């Protein structure tokens, strides 16, 4: 779990890799301050994705092709289990170009030293290719085609059209730009940190990035610079045309998101040891820049998540990696009970500022659901109908980082609507009362959860860690990450409650909670 007293200073974006029995995490890092600048590639390793050891920076400006900055990129395992890194450098003209680095010693499982090829840059904007030199960054993990050529994507835009430019190479050094991008969308703006990977159509196992068969679908994820959120599409990869084909109805715009809160610049990797695909993302701040400078750090990585395709084929599912459960302590289990309208139930026996809470609800009278006349943006709906606004079924959920007297609290809750003769479940994360410090971002977040409350449990798992609230609704079908800085609900002054502020009773069918030990960051 995160420790607010860490010395990470400023960090953003991550590029994971598994090599030599270790998980390697590379990330943009400012060793000189808590705001963006002086960026190098920091490097940490772990045996379990939970406890981390910090190493010296892996990459820092040293060549003409990156003298003004080493920005984001990705790692790829070549033939013979040889890791390489493609990354964006900023050259003397402040053009964004793509560079290659390789380990100095492959027998070193820590991969402490990296050597840049003298042939850098390998991909660059020119007058011939007409690539926007200020919008050409973040190469992906490469995949190997059946023709023996590697393919890699680089995020870009042309005017307002966002795109994933495609490059091919036989030796990973000499790259040729494809005639057409893998995919592009008019009006979407710059595509940062693209990611392209296969997911099995059935089951929770992951597959290698180069797999392409009838058993998989493909996911194209981008971080939209204009919106500062991560979006994805599900579709298929036409290898003969090197084109991504979104599933029907998803061709014109990005709709689906990994996370509907503070979560950006994410990256997946295939964990061959446990045959799963793991997602890591960056959680930015809700505090002001002045407060970031005062506390001496900003930006963290979210808890790693396993990710797979939902059985419907329409969305991805995310769940904290199972290793995080090693931090659980002081188990609290409450027997099933009815939570009456207006009732608060304090969850005692756990450390409220570092906890893992799983709760499930059942509703018996769906006829009491509030009628929704027209469909609206769920975030706007959560802002208008926060946890203090009563309705028939909801809000019900959790109050975390709650102070004595509830002057401060962060609420994560469900609300059920009736829309066009169907039940609609809304998940909200309400930061509006999270802090008396009004310089903080107190935005409300929300999304609809694809579940049927008549036949399915309404489940919520919330991981609470000092200033972070990561919530997983509907068994991982909807995720919301919040960043909160209370002034009263801190340390032993913080409390956790289950609550129901609706007029109808709801039943808690399961409630389990754990204190969470600190992860080791050395």
User: By 3-state DSSP, what share of the chain in percent is helix, strand and coil, each rounded to 5?
Assistant: 5, 50, 45
Contact 125, 97 (CB under 8 A): yes
CA pair distance 247, 365, nearest whole angstrom: 36
* Residue ranges with strand state E in 395-443: 396-402, 410-419, 422-430
Contact 409, 398 (CB under 8 A): no
CA pair distance 271, 304, nearest whole angstrom: 12
3 labelled catalytic: yes
CA pair distance 475, 369, nearest whole angstrom: 22
| CA dihedral sign of residues 497, 511, 260, 153 | positive
Which runs of consecutive H residues, i.e. helices, occur in 53-137?
none
CA pair distance 408, 436, nearest whole angstrom: 7
CA pair distance 385, 365, nearest whole angstrom: 21
Radius of gyration over every alpha carbon of the chain, rounded to an integer in angstroms: 23
Q: Given 3, 48, 291, 441, which residue is catalytic?
A: 3
* Residue ranges with strand state E in 79-124: 82-90, 96-103, 114-116
Exposure string of 435-450, with b = 16+ CB inside 10 Å and e = fewer, is beeeebbbbbbbbbbe
E strand or H helix at 294, and its extent? helix 289-295
Strand partners, 418: 371, 423
For the chain, the residue count is 522
CA pair distance 233, 449, nearest whole angstrom: 17
Phi, psi of 293 (to 5 degrees): -65, -40
CA pair distance 164, 127, nearest whole angstrom: 19
CA-closest candidate to residue 313, choices 201, 211, 206, 212: 201
Catalytic residues: 3
């Amino acid at each position: 779990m995160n420790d607010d007293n860490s010395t990470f200073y400023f960090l953003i974006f991550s590029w994971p890799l598994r090599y030599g029995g270790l998980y390697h995490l590379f990330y943009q890092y400012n060793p000189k301050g808590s705001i963006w600048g002086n960026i190098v590639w920091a490097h940490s390793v772990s045996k379990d994705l939970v406890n981390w050891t910090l190493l010296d920076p892996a990459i820092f400006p040293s060549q003409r092709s990156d003298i003004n900055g080493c920005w984001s990129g990705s790692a790829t395992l070549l033939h013979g289990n040889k890791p390489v890194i493609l990354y964006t450098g900023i050259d003397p003209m402040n053009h964004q170009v793509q560079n290659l680095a390789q380990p100095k010693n492959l027998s070193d499982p820590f991969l402490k030293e990296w050597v840049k090829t003298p042939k850098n840059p390998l991909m660059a904007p020119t007058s011939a290719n007409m690539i926007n030199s200020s919008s050409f960054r973040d190469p992906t993990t490469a995949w190997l085609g059946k023709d023996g050529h590697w393919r890699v994507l680089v995020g870009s835009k042309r005017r307002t059209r966002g795109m994933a430019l495609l490059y091919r190479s036989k030796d990973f050094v000499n790259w040729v730009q494809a005639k057409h991008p893998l995919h592009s969308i008019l009006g979407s703006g710059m595509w940062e940190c693209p990611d392209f990977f296969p997911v099995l159509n059935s089951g929770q196992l992951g597959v290698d990035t180069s797999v392409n068969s009838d058993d998989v679908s493909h996911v194209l994820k981008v971080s939209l610079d204009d919106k500062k959120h991560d979006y994805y599409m599900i579709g298929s990869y036409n290898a003969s045309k090197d084109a991504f084909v979104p599933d029907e109805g998803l061709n014109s715009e990005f709709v689906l998101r990994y996370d509907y809160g503070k979560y950006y610049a994410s990256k997946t990797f295939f964990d061959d040891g446990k045959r799963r695909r793991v997602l890591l993302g960056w959680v930015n701040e809700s505090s002001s820049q002045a407060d970031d400078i005062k506390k001496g750090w900003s930006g963290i990585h979210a808890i790693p998540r396993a990710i797979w395709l939902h059985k419907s084929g329409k969305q991805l599912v995310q769940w904290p990696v199972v290793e995080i459960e090693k931090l659980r302590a002081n188990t609290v289990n409450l027997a099933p009970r009815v939570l009456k309208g207006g009732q608060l139930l304090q969850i005692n026996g756990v450390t409220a500022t570092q906890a893992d809470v799983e709760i499930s609800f059942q509703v018996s009278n769906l006829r009491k659901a509030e009628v929704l006349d027209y469909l609206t943006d769920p975030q706007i709906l959560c802002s208008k109908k926060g946890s203090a606004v009563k309705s028939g079924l909801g809000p019900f959920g959790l109050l975390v980082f709650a102070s004595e007297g509830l002057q401060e609290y962060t609420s994560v809750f469900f609300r059920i609507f009736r829309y066009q003769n169907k039940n609609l479940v809304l998940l909200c994360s309400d930061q509006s009362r999270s802090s008396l410090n009004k310089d903080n971002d107190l935005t409300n977040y929300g999304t609809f959860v694809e579940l049927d409350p008549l036949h399915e449990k309404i489940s919520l798992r919330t991981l609470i860690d000092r200033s972070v609230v990561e919530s997983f609704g509907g068994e991982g079908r909807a995720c919301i990450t919040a960043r909160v800085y209370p002034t009263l609900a801190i340390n032993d002054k913080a409390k956790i409650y289950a609550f129901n502020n609706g007029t109808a009773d709801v039943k808690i069918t399961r409630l389990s909670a754990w204190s969470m030990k600190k992860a080791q960051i050395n």
